[in-house]
Amino acid sequence: MNVVDDEGSRISLPASVRRVVSLVPSLTEAVGVTEPGLLVGATDWCTHPDDLDEHGVTRVRGTKNPDVDAIVALAPDLVLANAEENKPAELERLREAGLTVYVTDIRDIDGALRSLERMLAACGLERPAWIDGARVAWDALPLPDAPRRAVVPIWRKPWMAVGSDTFTGAVLARLGVDNALDDSPERYPRFVPADLPAHDLVVLPDEPYRFTADDGPESFAAPSALVSGRLLTWYGPSLLEAARLLPGALAAAGAATAAR
């Protein structure tokens, strides 16, 4: 079977894909929820579904430094990767070792659902119900009456935030929140809190840096919304939960803004 991934690479697959290694937490969750028996390997950062270890899934280090030898030893039919999350040089090492690598490239919600449907089809799976559910859930969300403008830090020491052309920015845009750093030439620029452009909201996820009520909000004048990093940055089954929970979390901080 021949398929084409999101980068336009033509990939030859066996008639039946039975062993999959995922190098991205979101992709791991997408496969694990749809057909858990397919996964034989996943990164150390793959936390969902929460029964991966019970299914005997082998950990293969991180998204940026996968253990190539361990992955080869698992003899996967297919390795799943992402253009942003994984380094091209590491993916090339896997190809040179004789493995088949399928690369996704995901920038917004609609594109994510289309990409994941194609990826799961490459794994021999039909479109799962959670994809249709996520489409319906996000299409049903109304935009707030007044758009907000937010900064989305992802790290401190040094401070870094979500910049241009990111999935996170696209998620916020669907929720009526403009990214104050969307015009940055970088996708994840460094910044100084005192020099930020005008904004009325700070969105603080709990990953990759674990912001908390005592670590993050004190650095900004605008109200902060503490949110799940999985709901803000992951694509896949988490999008169903994100559509249900993110609007309320952002609205609560928006109410604090209005009360000032």
Please count the other Cβ atoms lying within 10 Å of the Cβ belonging to residue 139.
11
Look at strands 201-205 and 148-151 and give their pairing.
Answer: parallel
Per-residue pLDDT reduced to its tens digit, 79-123? 999 999 999 999 999 999 999 999 999 999 999 999 999 999 999
Give the residue carrying structure tokens 């990409």: 115
Give the three-state DSSP class for 148.
Answer: strand
Answer positive or negative: Cα dihedral of 187, 189, 193, 196: negative
- The helix or strand, by DSSP H or E, that contains position 103, with its residue range, turns out to be strand 101-104
Average pLDDT, the chain: 95
Residue 253 clears pLDDT 90, i.e. is over it: no
pLDDT category at 254 given cuts 50, 70, 90 is: low
Query: Helix crossing, 167-174 with 109-122: angle to 10°?
Result: 120
Q: Residue 154 has which token pair?
A: 């992802």
246, with CB counted inside 10 A (0-12, 13-18, 19+), is buried
Q: Residue 204 has which token pair?
A: 């603080």
- Given a contact cutoff of 8 angstroms between Cβ atoms, the answer to whether 106 and 166 are in contact is no
Residue 124 clears pLDDT 80, i.e. is over it: yes
Distance CA 23, CA 217 (A): 32
Categorise residue 233: left if φ over 0, alpha if ψ from -120 to 50, beta otherwise.
alpha
Portions of the chain given CATH number 3.40.50.1980: 2-127, 144-259
Residue 10 clears pLDDT 90, i.e. is over it: yes
Query: Does domain 144-259 fall into CATH 3.50.50.60?
Result: no
Which residues face 79 on adjacent strands?
21, 101
Instruction: Order the strands of the 201-205 sheet from edge to edge.
Output: 177-179, 148-151, 201-205, 224-227
Provide mean pLDDT across the span 216-239. 96
- Among candidates 210, 206, 150, 208, which has minimal Cα distance to 175? 150
Q: Which fold has domain 2-127?
A: Rossmann fold (3.40.50)
